[in-house]
Each structure stands twice: as C-alpha cells, then as structure tokens.
Amino acid sequence: MRVTRLLAGAAGAALMGVGVSLLLDVRDLTDVVVWLGGAVVLHDVLIAPAVLLAGPVLVRGALRGPVRAALIVAGSLTVVALPVLLRPGPRANSSVLPLDYPRNWLVALAAVAAVTALSTAARRRARRRRPPS
C-alpha cells in the first residue's frame, strides 16, 4: 500500500508540474482564475452536497458507498464536459469541436453506471459464496 501511495503521489506531483508549465504560457490568467474559481464553487455548492444527500436517500446499507462513488465520478465527468456541453449549436468551423460531445458524455455516464452495477453485483455474489464464520 505504501508503494502505491508513493507512486500515486509522484504521478500527481508530475501532473501538477505539467499544469504549472502550461500556465506559464498563458498571458492573461483572468480566464483561468475565473474557470478554476467556478469549478470550486460548482463543486462545493452543487456536486458535493448532492452526492452526500443522494447516497442516503437513494440507497441503504452496502450500496451506499458504490452509489456515492458513481455519483462523484459522474459529477466530475459532468464538470469536465461542461465547456463543450454548453457550447451553442452549429459552428462555422466544423473542426473546432468535431465530435458529438453530449452523446459521448452520456456514454461515459452509462459506463459509470454499468461498472457500478457490475461491481456491486460481484460484491454481493462474493458475499453469498463466503461461508459464514
């Protein structure tokens, strides 16, 4: 476990270094600050309370953790996808955003739901097979 944490920390530090190096190329940081501040407000005001409230409301017992994890991942995907999801309709240059981003976002959310359902089913099955102690 310690090695995994060290590797995760090293990867995080490397990614932060990449982010800082990318920020050095930005001439006007106002848009970056506004975007990051908006992300913090969106998370703290909307996503985190919704996840914390939805877990106990939607499910009880052992399912609460996986459902909360799925909601956190779905919320994070939504926050990352918001800029392209909120873009207006057709654009003059079709190569600017060439993919069907709303569909791809829904596919990603469906994948999160499917992985959550499969992992929950596997956990239940493993519990049933385990002999009582």
Residues comprising the chain, all counted: 133
* Location of structure tokens 């006007």: 28
pTM comes to 0.62
Give the Cα separation of 113 and 15 in Å (integer): 28
Q: Could you report the per-residue pLDDT of 45-90, keeping only the tens digit for each?
A: 987 888 778 767 777 777 778 888 898 899 889 888 888 888 766 7
- Looking at residue 62, what is its pLDDT? 74
Distance CA 78, CA 29 (A): 24
Handedness of CA 15, 36, 112, 48 (dihedral sign): positive
* Residue 49 DSSP SS3: helix
Neighbours of 50 (CB within 10 A): 12
3-53 pLDDT tens trace: 999 999 999 999 999 989 988 888 888 888 898 898 889 888 987 888 778
Query: pLDDT category, 125, cuts 50, 70, 90?
Result: confident
